[in-house]
Amino acid sequence: MTTLKAVRGTRDLLPAETGLWNRIEATARSVFERYNFGEIRTPVFEDTALFSRGVGEETDIVSKEMYTWEDRARAQSEKTQQLTLRPENTAGVVRAYIEHKLGETGQLQKLYYIGPQFRRERPQKGRYRQFSQIGAEVIGPVSAGSESPLRDAEVLEMLSTLLDELGISGWTLKINSVGSASDRPKYIETLKAALAPIVSQMCVDCQRRAVTNPLRVLDCKVPEDQPFIDALPRIADSLDEDSKAHFAAVCAALDAASVPYTRDHRLVRGLDYYTRTTFEFTHGGLGAQNALLGGGRYDGLSELIGGPKAPGIGFAMGEDRLVLTLQAVEAAKAELADAYIAPLGEAQNAAALELARELRRSQPDRPGLRIELGDGSFRLKKSFEAADKVARTIVMLGEDEAKSGILTVKDFASGVQSKVARVELAAFLLSSRNKY
Ligand code: AMP
């Protein structure tokens, strides 16, 4: 008999891995609760029409990737139905919002979810057919402020906090505005006109997209197509005054909150329901599948699936990719020394050697502290650069520190600088080693 295996694109998570998954979920729940979100759990399968109407017939997800089947009626009172394993969770959350008349409370609904999604994609590292998303949505009547750019900025600021608390540094936030429902058709016409004379020189996918869904051309990754795409008209130039002002207000609020971002004119995202703000967080450690999370505003989605006007904004992060990123971060960290001792001036070289010796000998039981010793002839900037490459922290030892026995320690991952008594330094370095 042939041995049965997990289906292509699906995986078992064994106890060696589930600890990290649980830690990620616990951190996400803790951050969401502090921002006053509550959890929602919607069914794993839904009526197919929810996705074809909500996500859009012409998107890759709906046209190629959904697990859909005809569910036979079991009794005369039942109808045979087309059902689909959810490929994403926003449409389900908005359906639940409508079904339970959550808009009638007059309040903004702030909902988060954690759970499996299903897409028949070509599996590779970071891309699976069953994967887990952690997401959140802010949705409600206009009178509750659901259209406000402050909501967009708050969601983005929350995400920067969540990534920081997960211990993921080095992310990039890209944002764009795809305009309102009325800006979009204008831009699509402009895009079609610009594509018409050149599309025959582009890839076959783009030739199809130029007819069925021209916005998707902007997502094309084929290298030869990039010069054509870069020269296409930008959506920013088709936005009306309200959409421009909305986007400017989101950017101003992000600036005020010191959340770093870059503007990406090509970020239109793969789902049709987005309006105005769209965004994506990427991480260099992920390789080809570098998107950690994506999201945006969907002011017309509720109406698309038969509900009242209920503007909203949300995101979904790939939990599988968070796990991969954190595993890479942890592997890189395991190679780093616990501290780099930086003598501030050559006069401190001898004292630095003595401190390094003390720390290296402080933990005779393995694994002991791993210490790198700098050189007092280095300028401070050079010491920092050297330390950042080889150690988790830098310990500065100048004349004042040598006299007072109070050392300044900077942790590179968190950016936090602490004053630590020399007698407590070994314990301090050991305890900070065990954080994420
Ligand atoms: P989307 O719903 O397409 O906006 O995707 C949101 C996030 O979910 C992405 O940024 C990925 O991190 C994750 N994601 C999407 N598709 C997959 C997949 N097939 N496998 C793993 N993660 C995925």
The answer to whether 332 and 127 have CB atoms below 8 angstroms apart is: no
316 lines ligand 1 (CB under 6 A): yes
State which of 133, 137, 278, 320 you would mutate to test the pocket of ligand 1, scoring each by most atoms of that ligand within 8 A of its C-beta: 133
The string of pLDDT tens digits covering residues 295-322 is 999 999 999 999 999 999 999 999 999 9
Q: What average pLDDT does the structure give for the chain?
A: 92
Is residue 300 domain-shared with residue 420, that is, in the same domain? no
Q: Are residues 171 and 314 in the same domain?
A: yes
Q: Is the CB of 128 under 6 A from ligand 1?
A: yes
User: Which of 85, 131, 173, 317 for mutating ligand 1's site (highest number of atoms within 8 Å of CB)?
Assistant: 131
Q: Mind listing the pLDDT tens digit for each residue in 196-213? A: 999 999 999 999 989 888
Q: How many angstroms is it from 13 CA to the middle of ligand 1? A: 18
In this structure, what token pair is assigned to residue 410? Answer: 């900077």
Closest ligand 1 atom number to CA of residue 280? 10
Shared domain for 162 and 75, answered yes or no, is yes
Could you tell me the distance, in angstroms and rounded to a whole number, from the CA of residue 286 to the centre of ligand 1?
Answer: 13
Residue carrying structure tokens 């949300």:
314
Closest ligand 1 atom to Cα of 321 = 12
Q: Which residues have CB under 8 Å from 4's CB, separation 6+?
A: none
Ligand 1 within 6 A of CB of 293: yes
Geometric angle at alpha carbon 322, from 316 and 327, rounded to 5° = 175
> Domain boundary at 283, 314, 330, which?
330
Measured CA to CA, the distance from residue 171 to residue 284 in angstroms comes to 7
Strands (E), 13-144: 38-39, 45-47, 68-71, 81-85, 109-118, 130-139
Q: For residue range 221-269, what is the model confidence (pLDDT) as tens digits?
A: 889 999 999 999 999 999 999 999 999 999 999 999 999 999 999 998 7
- C-beta atoms surrounding 70 within 10 Å: 10
Residue 224 lies in a domain: no
pLDDT, position 141: 97
Classify 379 in phi/psi space as left (phi over 0), alpha (psi -120 to 50) or beta: beta
Of 330, 359, 388, the residue at which a domain comes to its end is 330
CA dist., res. 286 & res. 289, Å (int): 6
Nearest residue (by CA) to ligand 1, atom 12, is 318
Q: Is the CB of 83 under 6 A from ligand 1?
A: no
DSSP state of 151: H
What is the mean predicted confidence (pLDDT) over 325-336? 84
Going by C-alpha positions, the residue among 382, 375, 378 that lies closest to residue 350 is 375
Query: Are residues 314 and 350 located together in one domain of the fold?
Result: no
Residues 56 and 130 in one domain: yes
Is the residue at 195 inside a domain?
no
**In the sheet that 68-71 helps form, which strands lie side by side, from edge to edge?**
45-47, 81-85, 68-71
364 and 255, same domain (yes or no): no
Residues 308 and 380 both lie in one domain: no
Yes or no: say if 9 and 130 are a contact pair by the CB < 8 Å rule.
Answer: yes
Strand pairing category for 275-283 and 393-397: unpaired
Q: Is the beta carbon of 398 within 6 A of some atom in ligand 1?
A: no
Q: Is 320 close to ligand 1, i.e. is its CB under 6 Å away?
A: yes
Pocket test for ligand 1, best of 62, 113, 117, 271 (most atoms within 8 A of CB): 117
Residue in 251, 268, 252, 264 with CA at minimum distance from that of residue 179: 268
Q: Which of 330, 364, 397 is the last residue of a domain?
A: 330
pLDDT at 246: 97
Of 45, 272, 295, 287, the C-alpha closest to 159 is: 295
Residues 357 and 299 in one domain: no
Task: Kindly report which listed range (36-40, 127-131, 364-368) carries the lowest average pLDDT score.
Answer: 364-368
Helix (H) or strand (E) holding 407: strand 406-411
Q: Which two tokens stand for residue 104?
A: 């009638």
Q: Which residues contact 263 (CB under 8 A, 6 or more apart)?
A: 174, 175, 176, 251
- CA neighbor of 387 nearest in space, from 432, 337, 435, 424: 337
Atom of ligand 1 nearest to the CA of 123: 19
361 and 251 in a common domain = no
Do 297 and 387 reside in the same domain of the chain? Answer: no
324 shares its domain with 342: no
Which residue's alpha carbon is at the smallest distance from atom 4 of ligand 1?
A: 294
Query: 13-69: per-residue pLDDT in tens?
Result: 999 999 999 999 999 999 999 999 999 999 999 999 999 998 888 788 888 899 999
User: Domain containing 425 — which CATH number?
Assistant: 3.40.50.800
pTM of the shown model: 0.81
Question: Can you state the percent helix, strand and coil of the chain, rounding each to 5?
Answer: 45, 20, 35
Cis peptide bond N-terminal to 367, omega within 30: yes
User: How far, in Å, CA of 62 to CA of 96, rounded?
Assistant: 20
Query: What is the rounded distance in angstroms from the CA atom of residue 74 to the CA atom of residue 124?
Result: 38
Query: Residue range 313-338: average pLDDT?
Result: 90
Q: Predicted confidence band at 436 (pLDDT cuts at 50, 70, 90)?
A: very low
Strand order in the sheet with 393-397: 371-373, 339-343, 393-397, 406-411, 417-421
- By CB neighbour count within 10 A (0-12 exposed, 13-18 middle, 19+ buried), where does 211 fall? exposed
Q: Is 279 in the same domain as 350?
A: no
Q: If pLDDT is split at 50, 70 and 90, which confidence band does 270 have?
A: low
Q: How far is the CA of 243 from the centre of ligand 1 (A)?
A: 27
How many structural domains are present in the chain? 2
Residue 199: what residue type? V
For ligand 1, atom 17, the nearest C-alpha belongs to 127
Q: 291 CB under 6 A from ligand 1?
A: yes
State whether the beta carbon of 11 lies less than 6 angstroms from ligand 1: no
| Residue-level pLDDT at 435 | 59
Can you read off the two tokens belonging to residue 368? 């002991």
Residues in the chain: 436
Pairing relationship of beta strands 130-139 and 109-118 according to DSSP bridges: antiparallel
Q: Residue 232: what residue type?
A: L
When pLDDT is cut at 50, 70 and 90, the band that residue 332 belongs to is confident
Residue 190 exposure: Cα atoms within 13 Å on the Cβ side: 14
Domain interval for residue 62 = 15-182+240-330
C-beta 46 within 6 A of ligand 1: no
pLDDT on residue 333: 77
Question: Is 192 within the bounds of a domain?
Answer: no
